[in-house]
Chains A and B, each alone.
Chain A
Amino acid sequence: DSGVTQTPKHLITATGQRVTLRCSPRSGDLSVYWYQQSLDQGLQFLIQYYNGEERAKGNILERFSAQQFPDLHSELNLSSLELGDSALYFCASSLEGQLNTEAFFGQGTRLTVV
């Protein structure tokens, strides 16, 4: 158990809909990362938050947004969903400020858009 909790584990929704994925980081970790993993594109970095503030943006679509709350949990919002958004979405957390620390990953949310 990595200590990172993601809910829900599975999500099936229709095109055009909006969903919210939730992540609770490991106790003490201030930094949260979101990744998308699809079959043909490997692990794509979406966005990073540190202590409530956005720190870095990767290949995140404008239809997607995220936030980190005061209790440090994070949510990834995906809207106007398309078939191509079907993927595994991972959240990871780490102790920011220390380059020598590894990231801890949640089990992921498998999103299927039909």
Chain B
Amino acid sequence: AQSVAQPEDQVNVAEGNPLTVKCTYSVSGNPYLFWYVQYPNRGLQFLLKYITGDNLVKGSYGFEAEFNKSQTSFHLKKPSALVSDSALYFCAVRDLEGGGYQKVTFGTGTKLQVIP
């Protein structure tokens, strides 16, 4: 069965500093990995995804994520954090279940707090 883990409930970072939000995964086949962001009282918004190819994926709002197959990780990063990046971040994995249909599993979410 597939799973996703976000080991940190909250990450605090000073504005202007680099940020990292961690995600590890477990799938039986090739991983299809996603990051979503949720602002207060809003739905989730897609940030970026890894399918195949380069291990460094660039996405929206200056975010990027590093895929590491040996460590089964897909950490979200940004070189310089903004106060407006403060939000809830979800990692997700997509895989084929028995019967051939897709299943999406989300992590528990990490709250990012960027301190001015």
A→B interface (CB under 8 Å): 2, 4, 31, 33, 35, 42-43, 45, 48, 50, 55-56, 90, 92, 94, 96-97, 99-100, 102-108, 110
Chain B facing A: main interface SS: strand
**Is B95 an interface residue, CB under 8 A from the partner?**
yes
Cβ contact within 8 Å between A45 and B106? yes
The DSSP consensus for interface residues of chain A is strand
Q: Is the CB of A100 within 8 A of B43?
A: no
Residues 92-110 of chain B: 1 if any A CB is under 8 Å from the residue's CB, otherwise 0?
1011110001111111110
Given the complex of chains A and B, what is the CA–CA distance between A96 and B101 in angstroms?
8
Report whether B43 and A96 are in contact in the complex, using a CB–CB cutoff of 8 Å.
Answer: no
**How far apart are the CA atoms of A104 and B92 in the complex, in Å?**
13
Question: Which of B43, B97, B108 is A107 in contact with, Cβ under 8 Å?
Answer: B43
Contact call A99/B96, Cβ cutoff below 8 A: yes
B43 and A108 contacting across the interface, CB-CB below 8 Å = yes
CA distance A31 to B39 in the complex (A): 24
A-B contact pairs, 21 of them (CB 8 A): A2-B43, A33-B104, A45-B105, A50-B101, A56-B97, A94-B102, A96-B101, A99-B51, A99-B95, A99-B102, A100-B49, A102-B49, A103-B34, A103-B92, A103-B104, A104-B46, A105-B44, A106-B43, A107-B43, A108-B43, A110-B41
Interface residues of B in 59-116 (CB under 8 A from A): 90, 92, 94-97, 101-109
Q: Count of chain B residues with Cβ under 8 Å from any Cβ of A?
A: 26
**What 5 pairs between A and B have smallest CB-CB spacing?**
A105-B43, A42-B108, A102-B46, A105-B44, A100-B51
CB pair B34–A102 under 8 Å, yes or no, is yes
Name 15 extra pairs, CB < 8 A, besides A42-B106, A45-B106.
Answer: A2-B43, A42-B108, A42-B109, A43-B90, A43-B108, A43-B109, A99-B51, A100-B32, A103-B92, A103-B104, A105-B43, A105-B45, A106-B43, A108-B42, A110-B41
Alpha-carbon separation in the docked complex, A99 to B52 (Å): 11
